[in-house]
Amino acid sequence: MLLTKGSKGALHYNLEAQHIFPSIPVTVNDTVGSGDSFLAGYLAQLIKGSTLEKSMLNATALGAFITSKIGACPAYDLSEFEKFKLDKGVFTADY
């Protein structure tokens, strides 16, 4: 189970454990679509076979990134999201 808590981060629960992932600080412009973006970021990594950690980090990053934009589905280039992750220290260039 996934649970988003806005500025308080996100949780992943399964039968064995609870995993807590911190939020990524951003200037909030619009929260509409941030939950959907979080789930999309999680699933995008999960279907690639990524680890739980990488999937959740991508999820929190995409949710935060979209929250910093205006509108539920703002226009952006994938390279802009990748730069956001690097700038926020979410992933290193080789991760």
Mean pLDDT of the chain: 92
* 52 pLDDT higher than 60: yes
What pLDDT, on a 0 to 100 scale, did the predictor assign at position 82? 92
What pLDDT, on a 0 to 100 scale, did the predictor assign at position 90? 85
What pLDDT, on a 0 to 100 scale, did the predictor assign at position 72? 83
CA distance 68 to 27: 6
* 59 pLDDT higher than 60: yes
- Ordered by where they begin, the domains of the chain are 2-87 (3.40.1190.20)
Beta strands across the sheet bearing 10-13: 2-4, 10-13, 18-21
The pTM score is: 0.90
